[in-house]
Amino acid sequence: MFTGSGRPWKHAIYFPAALPGVGMFVLVNLKAYPCDPIEVATAAADVADDSGVRVAVAPQAAHISAVAETGVETWAQHVSPNEQGSHTGSTLAEAAADAGAEGTLLNHSENRLKLADIDGSLDAADRAGLETIVCANNPAQIGAAAALGPDAVAVEPPALIGTGTPVSKADPDIVTGAVDAAARVDGGVDVLCGAGISTGEDLVSASDLGSTGVLLASGVAKADDPRAALDDLVAPL
């Protein structure tokens, strides 16, 4: 997964083709939840080491450095579509990378961007050597996002975010439609799914529908025991 093939100038990152449930990427988005980012990051690093599953954490920008120091793969929740300069309040891609981020989410439904800004943020991430996942609501938007050449796209119907009802169960056609839409545009762009993901069964269902990874948030960030939640998530793999 994440071959980086969408943008011809982007560095290539190769992951072997996944068997069902194998080689899945798990990205835990901490959003702005009142959790302990170091506790979650440490749990994620331990689960990744013990299971061999690729697990990453996307904390608040101010916590990227501290989270990266735990050894877990660390992602930014967003980077801005600008270079260095007079851009007060922006999240500079190079600053995120310097702090330890290895990738970034873009266009999450809670932080929507204009199409031109998604493209600009992808350029910024490329300059900084960050992997990219562009989020979208439905298969039609997934096709448009894939055309911009990210490493991956993620389909997340906003109505299901935080509900505990995974899109793979609520409307599996959204996942298969997203996989097909991305493939029609660029077969090198991976497709993840999110919204309501919280259990190992959810992860396997996502894989069976053609997804190469999952985004989740409250199922881990709000868990009383993040390590136990992550162990349950990867147990079927």
Q: Which residues contact 94 (CB under 8 A, 6 or more apart)?
A: 84, 124, 127, 128
Q: Which residues contact 125 (CB under 8 A, 6 or more apart)?
A: 79, 93, 103, 104, 106, 131, 132
Identify the residue whose tokens are 């994620």: 44
Of 204, 226, 212, 188, the C-alpha closest to 5 is 188
For residue 108, indicate whether it is catalytic. Answer: yes
Q: Which two tokens stand for residue 206?
A: 């996502």
Return the DSSP state at 20: T
Query: Which among 73, 78, 108, 131 is annotated as catalytic?
Result: 108
d(CA 231, CA 116): 39
For residue 156, indicate whether it is catalytic. Answer: yes
Hey, what amino acid is at 51?
A: S
Query: Annotated active-site positions, please?
Result: 108, 156
